[in-house]
């Protein structure tokens, strides 16, 4: 029987073509003993066969998926769909070439009207439980059923206004319960059927949707721009949920092991406490620079710094990491080679050779020759910038400096 599903412990970094970039790196970090939540990867071959079969998962694929879920239950001590100790998962894409934001993700899968009550009692935090459920309803509706998110956002804004809440974090458990009920009603009105309560149905539908997102408009356009063949397909990663929205000792963030703009050997990124991954990039709240984590949770910061350094040495390149802190415990959800400016690429290459992390040829191979043109544009002198009056800051859309009146 052809193998379509690999537990993280079965893979490694050399299996990128089969497990995708995210899946192979999760497997490699698991092999290194880093704090990675348990999970498995459905291969890129399964994606191609999904399309060959007319856009459906074959019986063989489903059998292997549920067998792997059973293995996850053993590893985590939790049970998928259980009303005593439920296992909740994320379903995320992962092509062999990095395509950030182009395909779809579903978080908190496994929640339903009964499991959410169990989660509320189990954690002693009903606000967290219903916050997670309303997020799941939104993502499932958007990604799987293609319901416009504006329906959910408008309802959320209405309840926030009525409650006098300035941000999502100002909403209490009663507000979250009301939002969840409203979202369930919106889903049923638009779909003509209730929100699915069977976790197995939720799982298969979400995996199918992620495979389907390989050919969404964003992904196809990105592939054309970056010369990525459509025949590669995407892998799908199913992973145990860890929660950054479980209170003030939990959080989530993204960070580079070095500054991607300058190449400076210093952690660069941002995070939010009491939040889930999409909050960092959604603009709902303003993230905090990663340097603040050193003051807020010094042990977590030092552990993260050590992991980033270890991964740099292991891969011989600057890393782009995604992390979650759950009740004071750090988890790494992703690592990949970090994108960088031409200036940063040169600085990182020189520094990594000097630090003994990479050889000269390896370091040079990581510099995109096409990007070097950016270094030929005029630039401000550092001493001039130091004296300048700053009227606004932002990320540059193009290289070089400009002046005018």
Question: Are both 360 and 328 inside the same structural domain?
Answer: yes
Q: Which of 181, 129, 133, 132 is nearest to 155 (CA)?
A: 181
**126-139 vs 115-123: helix crossing angle, rounded to 10:** 140
Confidence of residue 278 (pLDDT cuts 50, 70, 90): confident
> In this predicted structure, what is the pLDDT of residue 283?
66
Question: Are both 267 and 200 inside the same structural domain?
Answer: no
Question: Are both 166 and 277 inside the same structural domain?
Answer: no
Question: Are both 263 and 204 inside the same structural domain?
Answer: no
Q: Measuring CA to CA, how many Å separate 276 from each of 107, 243, 244, 339, 366?
A: 9, 7, 5, 23, 32
> What are φ and ψ of residue 238, in 5° steps?
-110, 120
Higher pLDDT, 308 or 381: 308
For the entire predicted model, the pTM comes to 0.90
Average pLDDT score over residue span 184-200: 98
Burial environment of residue 361 by CB neighbours within 10 A (0 to 12, 13 to 18, 19 or more): exposed
Q: Which of 29-43, 221-235, 305-319, 378-392 has the lowest mean pLDDT?
A: 378-392
Q: What is the CA radius of gyration of the chain?
A: 22
Question: Are both 74 and 217 inside the same structural domain?
Answer: yes
Asked, for residue 396, whether it belongs to a domain, the answer is: no
What distance separates the 2 farthest-apart alpha carbons in the chain?
69
Range of the domain at 268: 251-377
Burial per residue of 316-345, b for 16 or more beta-carbon CB atoms within 10 angstroms, e otherwise? ebbbbbbbbbbeeebbbbbbbebebbbbbb
Q: What is residue 319's three-state secondary structure?
A: strand
Question: Are both 159 and 285 inside the same structural domain?
Answer: no
Question: Are both 56 and 95 inside the same structural domain?
Answer: yes
The model's pLDDT over 349-395, given as tens digits with 9 standing for 90+, comes to: 999 999 999 999 888 888 877 777 777 778 777 788 778 888 887 76
The model's pLDDT over 245-255, given as tens digits with 9 standing for 90+, comes to: 998 999 999 99
Asked, for residue 56, whether it belongs to a domain, the answer is: yes
Q: Which of 55-64, 115-124, 373-382 has the lowest mean pLDDT?
A: 373-382
Question: Are both 315 and 280 inside the same structural domain?
Answer: yes
First CA to last CA distance, the chain: 69
Asked, for residue 259, whether it belongs to a domain, the answer is: yes
Q: Which of 131-135, 336-340, 385-389 has the lowest mean pLDDT?
A: 385-389
Q: How many domains does the chain have?
A: 2
């Amino acid at each position: 029987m052809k193998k379509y599903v690999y537990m993280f412990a079965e893979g490694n970094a050399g299996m990128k073509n089969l497990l995708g970039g995210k899946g192979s790196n999760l497997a490699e970090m698991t092999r290194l003993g880093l704090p990675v939540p348990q999970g498995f990867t459905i291969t890129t071959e399964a994606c191609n066969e999904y399309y060959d079969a007319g856009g459906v998962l074959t019986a063989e694929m489903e059998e292997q998926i549920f067998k792997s879920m059973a293995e996850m239950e053993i590893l985590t001590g939790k049970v998928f769909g259980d009303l005593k100790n439920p296992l909740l998962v994320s379903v995320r894409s992962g092509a062999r070439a990095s395509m950030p934001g182009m395909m779809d993700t579903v978080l908190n899968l496994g929640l339903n009207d009964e499991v959410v009550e169990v989660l509320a009692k189990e954690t002693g935090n009903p606000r967290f439980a219903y916050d997670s459920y309303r997020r799941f309803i939104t993502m499932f509706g958007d990604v799987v059923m293609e319901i416009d998110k504006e329906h959910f956002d408008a309802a959320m804004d209405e309840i926030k206004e009525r409650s006098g809440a300035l941000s999502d974090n100002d909403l209490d458990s009663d507000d979250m319960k009301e939002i969840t009920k409203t979202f369930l009603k919106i889903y049923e009105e638009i779909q003509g059927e209730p929100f699915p309560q069977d976790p197995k149905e939720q799982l298969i539908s979400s995996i199918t949707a992620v495979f389907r997102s390989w050919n969404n408009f964003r992904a196809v356009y990105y592939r054309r721009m970056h010369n990525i063949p459509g025949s590669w397909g995407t892998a799908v990663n199913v992973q145990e949920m860890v929660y950054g929205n479980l209170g003030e000792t939990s959080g989530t963030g993204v960070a580079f092991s070095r500054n991607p703009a300058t190449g400076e050997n210093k952690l660069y990124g941002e995070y939010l406490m009491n939040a889930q991954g999409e909050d960092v990039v959604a603009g709902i709240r303003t993230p905090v620079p990663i340097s603040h984590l050193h003051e807020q949770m010094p042990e977590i910061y030092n552990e993260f710094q050590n992991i980033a350094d270890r991964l740099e040495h292991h891969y011989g390149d600057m890393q782009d990491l995604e992390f979650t802190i759950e009740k004071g415990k750090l988890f790494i959800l992703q690592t990949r080679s970090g994108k960088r400016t031409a200036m940063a690429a040169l600085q990182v290459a020189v520094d990594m050779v000097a630090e003994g992390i990479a050889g000269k040829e390896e370091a040079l191979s990581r510099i995109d020759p096409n990007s070097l043109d950016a270094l030929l544009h005029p630039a401000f002198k550092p001493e001039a910038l130091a004296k300048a009056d700053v009227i606004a800051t932002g990320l540059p859309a193009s290289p070089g400096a400009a002046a005018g009146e």
